[in-house]
Structure 1
Amino acid sequence: MLSERPTTPAVDSAIAILQLLVNASYPLTQAEISSQTGIPAASCYRILGSLLQAQLIVMDPGRKKAYGIGSKIFQMASTIYGRQSIIPYFHPIAEILKNEVHKTVLLSIPVGNTVVVVARLEATLSNHFHSYIGQTLPLHRAAAGKAILSLRSKEYLQHYLAGEHLAATPELDSQLERARRLGYALTHGEIEKGVSCLAAPVVNLSHEPIAAISICVGSEELSEQASRSYSSPLIQAARQLAARIG
């Protein structure tokens, strides 16, 4: 197990404030932020001032002395999104896959020990599951993450599990071995109850996983035959995307 890295309280508090404002459904006052984060009022005041100066948050004009997410956050997110050169190639391939399986198609990339949804193509008749651009999940929990982990080395997996303070389990080993053998990973209700996800890895020329394409279906409709009918075009789409990006 890896030792905990030292942290800086002021930075931790700033992150907590940003996370709170991102998830809030309306702008929050300093008192509300202090109460919900547990940050002392004086410290909260100073940190809010620094975040305001950096344009990471703004004073909301619709509510007196209330704060919301600032323009700089959107600028940074847009810059990162624009650097994902894989995304323009994803959309035409995902459009074909969506029309074939009639499910919403997601593109996820590995970021550290997580997998992040960076593109999403909505199917009109698909069930509306809780997936969105920016959704971030541990690699070992998401189908996309397991598809990526299945092509990583044993050393990488050991390091990853140690970083997550997890032990290797026969169940996870079996899931990753199955994903390697069949070309796609499968999860049942691990992220959302009653929802199953299938994901196929996208690899580069060195056969390293750099992304995963996934679809989600209701667990009740995912029979063995349905799994085969969904997985075949899914794997084909992942291979086409890999070929396009070279």
Structure 2
Amino acid sequence: MHKAISVLQYLADCERAVSVKELAYSLNIPSASCYRLVRTLLEHNWVREVPEGGLRIAFGVAHVARSYSEVEALVSELEVPIRRLANDLGMSVKVSLREGHYATTALRAEPARPNAITSPIGYRFHLTIGSAAAVLLAQLSDEEVELILQTAPDEAWKRQAREDVWSRIRDCRVNGVCCDLGLQHPSIFAMSVPLKLSDLLTVALTAVGWKEDFESHKREVITKHLTSVALSLGDL
């Protein structure tokens, strides 16, 4: 995978066609491996051979980039309502999406109060960790979930068991909401709900705060706010 990315980056940076020999030499990839890699990229229309000889980026990469830009556009439409939700709750709010076996923070908003917990945009965490990840796992089949659990890093199991992950998934599937109340970190509490942006994209909408923010009498209010916003923004 790293070699394939390096090939695509090299071709993207060049304003001319590049030979396989140059790719192998410049990227320090064995010639045989480089030829196999290029053949695979050609089959998927990620690179193309040009008449004058050599390789250039092909339309297949543009298709992938366009697909991601569509996701980015959908997420960007959430910015204003997410900021409003953060101020209504007095807690940080984030939107997470699935990328392979990881969840990535795609959008965040902090309330107008000091010491709010924040999650940087682009922050990645394994899908076994936290309530947002459980929402994303809940969209998959049990078989897919089991495969992802097998890829979890050792630190994912330091404060939880597999059953804790499944419990959050079940809560999401049955009740439409799940929590991580200090399980992964004793000071960080979170509640998440699914937000369906399109037929192919469901993200996790999460409120993150301190222990006192999630005292039992406050959880119902948080749930109502999250589910109300998720319903109003669904299928934008």
Q: For the superposition of Structure 1 and Structure 2, which TM-score range results when normalised by the shorter chain?
A: 0.5 to 0.7
**Structure 2 residue corresponding to 1:183, chosen from 176, 187, 190:** 176
Identify the residue that residue 237 of structure 1 maps to in structure 2.
Answer: 229
Determine helix, strand or coil for the equivalent of 1:110: strand
CA distance in 2, matches of 1:143, 1:117: 13
Please show how residues 1-246 of structure 1 align to structure 2 within 5 Å: 84-125=72-113, 127-164=115-152, 169-204=162-197, 206=199, 210-244=202-236
CA distance in 1, matches of 2:70, 2:115: 28
Structure 1 unaligned blocks of 5 or more? 1-6, 15-45, 48-79
Determine helix, strand or coil for the equivalent of 1:133: coil
- 1:220 partner letter: E
By how many angstroms is 1:236 displaced? 1.6
How many pairs are equivalent?
174
Give % identity: 16
CA distance in 2, matches of 1:236, 1:126: 26
By how many angstroms is 1:164 displaced? 3.1
Structure 2 unaligned blocks of 5 or more? 7-25, 28-67
Structure 1 residues 122 and 171: alpha-carbon distance in aligned structure 2, compared to 1, 3 A threshold: closer
Determine helix, strand or coil for the equivalent of 1:178: helix
CA distance in 1, matches of 2:101, 2:77: 25
- The 8 Å contact of residues 186 and 199 in structure 1, kept in 2 or not, is answered as yes
Root-mean-square deviation (CA, aligned residues, Å) is 3.3
By how many angstroms is 1:199 displaced? 1.1
- The 8 Å contact of residues 147 and 212 in structure 1, kept in 2 or not, is answered as yes
- The 8 Å contact of residues 131 and 168 in structure 2, kept in 1 or not, is answered as no
The TM-score, its normalising length taken from structure 1, stands at 0.60
By how many angstroms is 1:231 displaced? 1.1
CA distance in 1, matches of 2:118, 2:94: 12
Larger radius of gyration: 2
